[in-house]
Structures are given as structure tokens and as C-alpha cells.
Structure 1
């Protein structure tokens, strides 16, 4: 985890403009990698959640994950200025070096979802995933004030924390209903590292996730079209996402 976090931070720190800040939320006493310039730690004292068996109690499992993740993200964003934009980044993913510059040039926008992003499991190939924001948590950039207020008169809104911070699957629709629809980021903005045993998603290797073998029997034409979305992890991609920095 420490190695992956270090790679993720290198990706964030490669932004082409200054003025961004990265807040790493970690339990007090955690063994963190060296933090690049622009990154700082926010320490919390949250117990390891006792998660039920996801194979038999999936709803309860995700509720526990959302409560833990939501509280950690809240610790990171609670003091962020209301007109700043916030992006949640999982510890093992990568982001484009162009994100901060794009946000600076479009500050009045409510935010963006990453419609197209890459899936990567560590090899020489990646997969250009459409509807990326529905699969990966590293997929939304949102103005802080639109996330909402989660504490009032000393009372914490845990339901709001779990729904808007602990999960990425509701926020797109919720903001649209509230009259603040997110725009589509006009370029692939993140890489979702899959096949990591430490991830709560439980995803496997690239080919099995992106093009499940059963599709070649049930939907052969569709599966063949998916093959066209594989990309070599070349120099340009490595440089943009600092994959091996």
C-alpha cells in the first residue's frame, strides 16, 4: 500500500500548474511514503471497520465501506474553501497531469465526471473504459460547496457523508437533480489500477474485467468491438500519468 500510495502521489504532484493541494487522510501513526511538495497529511483516529462477509451481506458490507471512507474524506474536505474544486483519489490510482490546469481554466464550472478513463493491471496494455465514472471512485471533480454541509449545531449528517462522500455512484445523479449537473471531462483523466488485493472493489486482471471471456460466446460482435479499446502503455501515457515515477 505504501508503494502504491507513493506512485499515486507522484502522479498527482506532476500537475502542469501550481496552486493545487493534496490532502492524504491517514490514521495517526500510519507509515506514509515521503510526501511530494504540495501534499500534506491529515491524521484521523478511526478504527478499522468490522466489515461483514460481502458474499452474503453485500449491502451491509458497502454501508460499512461508505461510512469509513466517507468519514475519512470528510476529514480531508471539511476545511476546503467553498469555491475550490475537490477530487477524491484512491490510494492506488493515477491521474492526468492536465487536471489542475483544466480546472484553473474553468473555475466557474460545477465540476466534471471522467467519462473516459483507463483500466490497468500493471502490464504493457491498458483499456479505455467508457462510463468510467460509474466504475471507479477516482472519477469526479466537484466544487466544494456543492458537496454540502455535513455538520450543524454539533450534529453530524452520517447519511449525507455516506451518500455523497463515501460513494461515487450517487453524486452524478444527485447533483443533476439539484440543478448542478456535472460536465464530461473532455479527455481521459484517470487510470484505475485493478487487480489490487488491497482494494475493496475486488477486481481481477485486466482482460477478465474489460472483456470477460463469456462475452465472446454470448455477444461476439460486441466483444470484438471492445478489443479495439485496448491501448499500449507507451511513453506518452506514462508521462501524462507518471505511471512509473
Structure 2
């Protein structure tokens, strides 16, 4: 069994709650496109999203701690997300103790064979996604990241429920910070505890950017927070942006089908 844990931002912190809901629905349709029925979805939320369809294998867990708003800092939004993850991990480990858990962002898509692959390896510690796709919302191009995908995308680790619960056991809800459960560090921290994760042998997810409702990792956020006004870094940043069409490929029908990826129309 593969259990997806999805923290959803609050309506009051969203520019468009309708857009957030449509992005989540695409994520749910991607999950429900699985070739195996051995999966379950837990969505941690302050508010129920506006969805067109019903999803039998989707469970909503509504949280009651204070929600951030549009004026909240990135750090405050990260803490809110991590509180939801803490809640979701405990909930999943209690109800699906033998499952594998995948923390997933509410706007990404996953490969349709993911649940089937996990079902074939029930005793494995888990996997990290060393490769995947990066997609800018509305584009006709998509980039295949053949290495280091887990450093960019938050939807990149699958871990046995008991292992993940043990990993966070020393963290109390009141102690959660914005750096809690960093997806970039999880495989390395587990390896240090002699609990290695394997590299998933196929592209596991599509990391979706620049749709106006991202909390983190949009191009301008990266430029402001990590590059600043350093001339060399700034030049490299814009050169890579200009080269993007040449390191990408056409978003083909087979890729769309593998991840059930479709465009959220601008009019939405």
C-alpha cells in the first residue's frame, strides 16, 4: 500500500482558492490514474477544496491550528505545511502501519506505475526520486531532470511508515520549524542511521512551477532568496533561463499519459 500525504494551503493564504483547488484536482487525477488500486490519499487542510469529482480513496483531515494568510511570510507558510505533514504522518502511521508513505505537494503529478511498483516491494525501506520531470505551467515543453531531482521537487521520497514515524519521533508539534523534514536531507539522514533508500529506477514525478500559487521555488523567489544581487550568480541564472528551451523536450502524449498531466487553462 502506498499512502500519499498532501498538505494543502489555506484558502486565506491563496491568491485564488479556485486555482488552488484545480491544481489539487489535477494532482488527485494523476494519483487516481495509477495502474494499481493499492493506494490511499490523505489531504491535510484548513478548508475543503472545490472539486469537480468524488474520490473514493481520498481522505480529508481538517486541522484546527491557526492558518497563515496572504500577508504571512514564507517561513510561516513553511511551518504551516510542516505542521500538516507532522499531523499526516502520525495519522497515516496509525491507520496504515505497514504502508509506504509519500509526502507530496498539492500541485505535482506522479507516474502511473508508482503504486504498482511499491506493491511489488513491500519490505523495502523506500526510494528517493533521482530523476523526474520539471514543467512550467502552461508550457508546451517539459524538462527531464536525469539526476538530482530530489533536490528540487518536494514530491520525491517514499518511506516505510514505521521508519518515517521513528524519524520524527523526537519532534513535538510545538517544536516544528520551517526546516522540519527537509525533503532534500531525508535520504541522507536515513542513510546515516543505516536505513538507506534506493533510487527509484524511473522518473517518479512531475515538478510543476510558476502557476502563481507556489509557496516556494518559483523563479523570482529563487532569484531573490538565493541569488540576490551577486553579478555572476545573477548572470548564470538568466543564462539558464534563456537556455531552457534547448534543454527541454516537447510535452508529448506518452508523457502526458504517464503522469495524467494536463494544462490548467489561463482563464481559470
TM-score higher than 0.5 here? yes
The equivalences for 1:133-152 within 5 A come to 133-149=150-166, 150=168
Matched residue SS, 2:39: coil
RMSD of the alignment, in Å?
3.1
Counterpart residue number, 1:181: 196
TM-score by length of 1: 0.79
Task: Rate the CA distance shift 1:120–1:66 in 2: closer, same or farther, 3 A.
Answer: same
Question: How far did 1:228 drift?
Answer: 6.2
Q: Does 1:30 align with 2:65?
A: no
Q: Does 1:191 align with 2:206?
A: yes
Picking from 238, 245, 248, the partner of 1:230 is 248
**What 5-or-longer segments of structure 2 have no aligned partner?**
1-19, 224-232, 264-268
Counterpart residue number, 2:33: 14
Contact kept? 1:164, 1:171, Cα under 8 Å: no
The equivalences for 1:40-119 within 5 A come to 40-49=59-68, 61-62=74-75, 64-80=76-92, 81-119=96-134
Q: What is the rounded CA distance, in whole Å, between the counterparts of 1:127 and 1:99 in structure 2?
A: 20
Aligned residues: 225
Q: What is the rounded CA distance, in whole Å, between the counterparts of 2:37 and 2:245 in structure 1?
A: 38
TM-score by length of 2: 0.73
The equivalences for 1:144-163 within 5 A come to 144-149=161-166, 150=168, 156=172, 158-159=174-175
Question: How far did 1:46 drift?
Answer: 2.6
- Between 30-39 and 3-12, report the one with greater CA deviation: 30-39
Task: Rate the CA distance shift 1:101–1:217 in 2: closer, same or farther, 3 A.
Answer: closer
